[in-house]
Structure 1
Amino acid sequence: MDVLINLFVALHIIGIAALLGGFLTQMKAMSAGTARFGPAMLHGALTMLITGMVLVGLNQADGHTLNNIKIGVKLAVLIVILGIVYVRRDEESAPKPLFGAVGGLTVANILIATLWT
């Protein structure tokens, strides 16, 4: 079971890397006002959602104690990110504050995952 959990943790990290990488590659465009939410950001957020749900199920099945408040906060932040990216995915450019909010929420989600014990 540990191998399966670690596999989904790796996939979860790949999802966050796609979301954050998509944001970071658009930083220069954001300053010019031409940043847009690319497919990598949407697919990264969806990957995080699916792998996160699988990880919760696998960890519960393995008998681990879970911090449900932490998981709920991370899920809420991810749903906000996913909603913004999904709704604005076809637009030519995203407003700077909205694009910055997605980057900030992504970093916040990483910090919640790593620092909240």
Structure 2
Amino acid sequence: MDVLTNVFVGLHIIGIASLLGGFLTQMKAMGDGTARFSPAMVHGALTMLVTGVVLVGLNQADDQPVNNLKIGIKLAVLIVILALVYVKRDEERADKSLFGLVGALTVVNIFLAVLWT
């Protein structure tokens, strides 16, 4: 079970890297007003959602304690990120404030995962 959990943790980190990397690579374009939500960002957010749900299920199946409040808040933040990225994915240019919000919420989600123990 530990190997399976670690595989999904790795996939979860890949999703985070895809979402945050897509944001960071377009920060200059965001300043110019030409940033857009890339397919990598959409796929990263979806990967985070799926692997996060699987990780919670694996922890509960292994009788590990799960902080439901933390998971609920992280899920809510991720749903907002996913909604913004998914709805605006086909637009040629993303609004600066929405693009910045996605980056900020991604960082918040990372810090929630790391610092809330």
Same-fold status (TM-score > 0.5): yes
Deviations 1:62-92 (A, max 9, x none): 0100000000000000000000000000000
Partner of 1:39: 39
Partner of 1:91: 91
Deviation at 1:11, TM superposition (A): 0.2
User: 2-side partners of 1:93 and 1:42: how far apart?
Assistant: 15
User: 2-side partners of 1:73 and 1:26: how far apart?
Assistant: 27
SS in 1 for 2:43: helix
Amino acid of the residue matched to residue 27 of structure 2? M
User: 2-side partners of 1:91 and 1:44: how far apart?
Assistant: 18
User: 2-side partners of 1:39 and 1:103: how far apart?
Assistant: 15
Amino acid of the residue matched to residue 106 of structure 1? T
Identify unmatched segments of 5+ residues in structure 2.
none
Partner of 1:80: 80
Partner of 1:9: 9
Partner of 1:27: 27
Deviations 1:3-38 (A, max 9, x none): 000000000000000000000001010000000000
User: 1-side partners of 2:69 and 2:58: how far apart?
Assistant: 18
Residue-pair matches, total: 117
Amino acid of the residue matched to residue 55 of structure 1? L
Amino acid of the residue matched to residue 60 of structure 1? Q
SS in 2 for 1:28: helix
Deviation at 1:40, TM superposition (A): 0.3
Partner of 1:114: 114
SS in 1 for 2:105: helix
Identify unmatched segments of 5+ residues in structure 1.
none
The alignment yields a C-alpha RMSD, in angstroms, of: 0.3
SS in 2 for 1:9: helix
Amino acid of the residue matched to residue 32 of structure 1? D
